């Protein structure tokens, strides 16, 4: 992973939350929040919380007595998440590295992470930290995206940008968000971290946007893909976004667009 893959700063958090969250994250947050609620945890740690879509889903599903600690490496993402969260004292926000959690052993009876482990530079270390923070018999629930070919909009945008930068195509989406989808590798990594009970389920959903441009803005300007585009030529961000929108329109139409998305949802027990 390149350094810019982890950089969510500037206007990215706002665009991410406005465009990308409803496009691909909300349905999976509801799903993961429901799975977590079945475990009835009292103390929950969330890593890589981003702008808080899963945090909000958990807060709406869990009893008022449940304590949620939401963490992320990027303070700008947490700042945006905190503004969106209603209810004082419901959630504790803390900047933290998932690979070096600032919590005592066995502090939580659930750890959750939605689409964050792909960004860990050392996933086994991140899994070990989650396991260390969990009480015996507790659940670590997380999700990752399936391969990019199973996710229509991300695939189309990536192909479109290859026409804008044919000699050095931006590959962030394929490399990082969609780069960790091998179920056997995930099982092996969790096993290396000490988890012995692991289940992995493929979950299909639909990705919808009011227009091709909305979807293009979500990916090209609301993710670290923007950093890759601007590193090649800062003045071509709008052009790249337009080309992505045109490619989406050719494939899905000029009105509201609808494409398939697929994720893997993983449950590991301490």
pLDDT in tens, the chain (270 residues): 555 444 555 668 889 899 999 999 999 999 999 999 999 999 999 999 999 999 999 999 999 999 999 999 989 889 888 887 765 678 999 999 999 999 999 999 999 999 999 999 999 999 999 999 999 999 999 999 999 999 999 999 999 999 999 999 999 999 999 999 999 999 999 999 999 999 999 999 999 999 999 999 999 999 999 999 999 999 999 999 999 999 999 999 999 999 999 999 999 998
The boundaries of the domain holding residue 197 are: 3-269
pLDDT of residue 249: 98
Dist CA 198 CA 207 (whole Å): 27
The CATH number of residue 20's host domain is 3.40.50.150
Dist CA 84 CA 256 (whole Å): 26
Dist CA 211 CA 213 (whole Å): 5
Dist CA 128 CA 142 (whole Å): 14
pLDDT of residue 101: 98
pTM of the model: 0.93
Neighbours of 237 (CB within 10 A): 15
How many structural domains compose the chain? Answer: 1
Beta bridge partners of 269: 139, 197
Residue 111 and residue 140 in contact, taking contact as beta carbons nearer than 8 Å? yes
pLDDT of residue 5: 42
Dist CA 183 CA 181 (whole Å): 6
């Amino acid at each position: 992973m390149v350094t810019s893959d982890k950089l969510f700063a500037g206007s990215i958090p706002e665009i991410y939350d406005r465009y990308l969250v409803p496009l691909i994250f909300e349905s999976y947050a509801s799903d993961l929040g429901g799975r977590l609620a079945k475990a009835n945890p009292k103390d929950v740690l969330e890593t890589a919380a981003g702008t808080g879509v899963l945090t909000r889903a958990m807060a709406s599903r869990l009893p008022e007595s449940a304590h949620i600690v939401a963490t992320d490496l990027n303070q700008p993402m947490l700042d945006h998440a905190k503004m969106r969260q209603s209810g004082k004292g419901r959630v504790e926000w803390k900047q933290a590295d998932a690979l070096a959690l600032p919590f005592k052993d066995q502090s939580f009876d659930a750890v959750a992470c939605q689409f964050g482990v792909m960004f860990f530079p050392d996933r086994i270390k991140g899994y070990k930290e989650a396991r260390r923070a969990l009480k015996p018999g507790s659940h670590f629930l997380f999700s990752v995206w399936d391969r990019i070919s199973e996710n229509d909009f991300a695939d189309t945008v990536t192909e479109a940008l290859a026409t804008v930068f044919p000699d050095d195509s931006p590959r962030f989406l394929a490399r990082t968000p969609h780069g960790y989808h091998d179920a056997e590798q995930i099982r092996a990594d969790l096993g290396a971290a000490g988890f012995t009970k692991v289940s992995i389920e493929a979950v299909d959903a639909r990705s919808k946007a009011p227009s091709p441009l909305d979807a293009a803005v979500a990916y090209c300007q609301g993710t670290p893909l923007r950093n890759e585009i601007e590193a090649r030529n800062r003045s071509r961000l709008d052009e790249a976004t337009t080309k992505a929108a045109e490619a989406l329109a050719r494939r899905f139409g000029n009105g509201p667009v609808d494409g398939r998305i697929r994720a893997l949802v993983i449950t590991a027990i301490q």
